[in-house]
């Protein structure tokens, strides 16, 4: 504490304030130790890694969707039921094939546009 904070405080008051600060410090140190022990558990580390990977994928998807004005949050109510329908009907492989073909077609069209702009 600053000396300015102690102006007008008696020795006993300063001692109580110092003891209180020491209690807060010890409680903070104990909390930090417990947090480190908790975060070092394998299941917590795996959960943290999955959270980080999910965040990175979502940020990437939002970046790709930004020019269209859409976002993952706005598309989720439409996409999740469609994915559920595809899974229930066991159409996963055909859906992946269609998505791959759509991706290749998009790549081809963008490449052609880039070539036309370059000339």
| Per-residue CA distances from 111 to 6, 18, 59, 99, 105 (Å) | 72, 70, 24, 18, 10
- Check pLDDT > 90 for residue 8: no
- 116 lies in some domain: no
- 50 lies in some domain: no
pTM of the predicted model over 0.85? no
Which runs of consecutive H residues, i.e. helices, occur in the chain? 3-6, 11-39, 42-65, 72-88, 92-118
- 104 lies in some domain: no
The domain of 25 spans: 3-39
Please give the tally of structural domains in the chain: 1
- Check pLDDT > 70 for residue 41: yes
61 within 8 A of 67, measured Cβ to Cβ:
no
- 18 lies in some domain: yes
pLDDT tens digits along 64-111: 888 888 888 898 999 999 999 999 999 999 999 999 999 999 999 999
Q: What are phi and psi of 7, to 5 degrees?
A: -60, 125
- 21 lies in some domain: yes
- 15 lies in some domain: yes
- 55 lies in some domain: no
65 within 8 A of 72, measured Cβ to Cβ:
yes
- 58 lies in some domain: no
């Amino acid at each position: 504490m600053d000396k300015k904070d102690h102006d007008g405080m008696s020795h006993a008051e300063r001692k109580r304030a110092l003891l209180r600060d020491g209690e807060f410090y010890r409680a903070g140190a104990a909390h930090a130790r417990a947090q480190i022990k908790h975060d070092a558990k394998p299941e917590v580390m795996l959960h943290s890694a999955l959270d980080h990977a999910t965040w990175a994928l979502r940020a990437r998807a939002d970046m790709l969707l930004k020019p269209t004005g859409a976002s993952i949050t706005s598309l989720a109510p439409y996409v999740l039921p469609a994915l559920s329908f595809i899974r229930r009907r066991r159409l996963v492989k055909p859906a992946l094939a269609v998505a791959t073909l759509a991706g290749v077609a998009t790549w081809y069209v963008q490449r052609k546009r880039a070539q036309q702009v370059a000339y």
